[in-house]
Amino acid sequence: MGVMATKERSSGAGDPARTLELLWRDGAAVPGGRRGPRPGLSVDAVVDAAIGLADEGGLDALTMRAVAQRLGVTPMTLYTYVPGKAELLDLMLDTVFLRMPRTSFAADEPWRARVTAVADGNRALYLRHPWLAELRVHRPPLGPGVMRKYEHELGAFEGLGLDDVAMDSALTYVLGFVQSAARAELDARAVDRESAMSDGEWWAAHEPLLARVFDGERFPLAARVGEASAVAYQGMYSPDHAYAFGLGRVLDGLGALIRSE
């Protein structure tokens, strides 16, 4: 993938000063060129149109021309609101973070329940906006959505005896697991969609062939465990099981850290 293609799937690739100005605009239209703003159009409208396109077709469907067409304006008009696609991606990311539902944490709520709520909220966000899994977010835009999300999610680890660095690392650990699990789930959905077959249907169609070529005596563990798993998952893979099992082990690991502090 070339440099330009990489930039088009990365956060923090635009003009930093312009991006920050747009991120903290408080909902106002912020034209960026010499032409005046089109009545009824705003930065928020541009971002909403872009999110809609990405939700429907992924980042490949997101171009400045496509956004302009959805809004019924020319691409040149669009550039009076957003300098380019790099800045638009940052605005989209910050917007979905700002709008995501957040579960309030009760003071006496067990920490595992609080962290689970953070994980579940992020998993739901990825499944609602699959393009997020395509986006590289090594340098997140420091807008109100990113900051509010970070502030809220750190609250799941407050009062556990962790120092500030450990709190940040623990949150990063949880979010990294969720992102990985969400990518795997989205990949599985894409395979189902593209093949027009569920895992169960695929397995049923290929089981007779596998039975002819697979030697269970040569691979006894694979035969035993694979069969048990296929029955449990009703196919080769269960996103829900993989997420629940993995999150449980993440929480167990954090539990060991918390007890050691």
pTM of the model: 0.83
**For 33-77, what is each residue's pLDDT tens digit?**
444 455 569 999 999 999 999 999 999 999 999 999 999 999 999
How sure is the predictor about 4, in pLDDT bands with cuts at 50, 70 and 90? very low
End-to-end CA gap in the chain: 44
| Cβ-based neighbours of 255, under 8 Å, separated by 6 or more | 112
The stretch 90-106 carries a mean pLDDT of: 93
Burial class (CB in 10 A: 0-12, 13-18, 19+), 233: middle
Contact status, residue 32 vs residue 83, Cβ threshold 8 Å:
yes
* Band (229; pLDDT cuts 50, 70, 90): confident
Q: Which amino acid is at 37?
A: P
Overall average pLDDT of the 250-254 stretch: 97
Please give the Cα distance from 92 to 48 (Å, whole number).
8
Q: Write down all domains in the chain, each with its CATH number in brackets.
A: 3-98 (1.10.10.60), 103-260 (1.10.357.10)
What's CA 178's distance to the chain center, in Å?
Answer: 8
pLDDT in tens, 141-169: 889 999 999 999 999 999 999 999 999 99
Please give the pLDDT value at position 35.
Answer: 46
The tens digit of pLDDT for each residue in 106-137 reads 878 999 999 999 999 999 999 999 999 989 87
Would you state the pLDDT for residue 12? 65
* Closest C-alpha to 121, from 134, 132, 110: 132
pLDDT score recorded for residue 76: 93
Locus of tokens 């977010």? 137
* 48 contacts: CB under 8 Å, gap ≥ 6: 95
